[in-house]
Amino acid sequence: MSAAAPEPPESSIDAFHRGAFFLAQPAGRGHRAGLDAMILAAAVPSGFSGRLADLGAGAGAAGLAVASRCPHARVVLVERDPEMLDYARRSRALPGNAALRERTEVLDADVTLAGEARAAAGLADRAFDCAIMNPPFNAPADHTTSDELRKSAHVMPPETFEQWIRTAAAIVKPGGALALIARPGSLQPILAALAGRFGEARIVPVHPRAEEEAIRIVLRARKGSRGGLSLRPPLVLHEAEHIFTQRADAICNGKASLFGD
């Protein structure tokens, strides 16, 4: 940002899926957050029908993107942060989202809750057909981690995935799905947390350019399946600086699903 850039407004309203839905969100957030949410949403099959929980929904980007692309999805945006909850509610209330409002709700709940407390917060066992999650990279516990570990690994504390995936396994019906987006460095705690809960994990690495390391992984798995892990061809985002590949453009704009289903 140049020194001459205007003071950023407190919040903004941004169009996604080429104007199919809108998001009220704090201004000054990077482009990446929206991109991650769009890619995560694309992991849900286009024909998905049923209840979907967007765990840690923030302003609702991923959940609304699923509702926008999948006309039979009923989406619950789950968030615990009061400010982000407010943005999620404002997003849902935007005039441009009127068509999605009936299939969307906002739930004030902490994803890391367990047992009766979780059910009491509105996340009942086996109440969903699918859960999606884009856990925050800088979870509160991160601040207690040593500088060296944070610098070298760029991962969340392993317990974050254990807690989030434990909740997903509880609230999803047998045979239901979990989709998540995360950094490649989190693969080990993710796979450890999936073990015994979700199988048939399919991973798509996301590379900024074909010749660069993956910056994200998208994973989809099925509750109770014994099926093994598979690695799909990568999603390459850019052909050149600021130019999306055709596939990335379709995926980020709600025109294609990531797993081709």
Q: Which is nearer to its own copies, 126 or 209 (CB)?
A: 209
Selected from 1, 211, 240, 242, the binder of its own copies by CB under 8 A is: 211
Write the burial class of residue 170 (CB in 10 Å: 0-12 exposed, 13-18 middle, 19+ buried). Answer: buried
How far is the CA of 51 from the CAs of 67, 74, 92, 130, 180, in angstroms? Answer: 10, 5, 17, 7, 16
User: Is there binding between residue 157 and its own copies (CB under 8 A)?
Assistant: no
Find out whether 146 and 67 touch, Cβ atoms under 8 Å.
Answer: no
- The Cα–Cα gap between 89 and 196 comes to 35
Selected from 155, 172, 221, 237, the binder of its own copies by CB under 8 A is: 155
User: Is there binding between residue 227 and its own copies (CB under 8 A)?
Assistant: yes
User: Is there binding between residue 228 and its own copies (CB under 8 A)?
Assistant: yes
Span of 70-78, 160-168, 203-211, 250-258 interacting with its own copies by CB under 8 A: 203-211
Query: Which three-class secondary structure string do you get for 104-125?
Result: EEEEECCCCCCHHHHHHCCCCC
Span of 23-31, 81-89, 127-135, 205-213 interacting with its own copies by CB under 8 A: 205-213
Q: Which residues bind its own copies (CB under 8 A)?
A: 148-149, 152-155, 183-185, 187-188, 191-192, 194-195, 199, 205, 207, 210-214, 217, 225-234
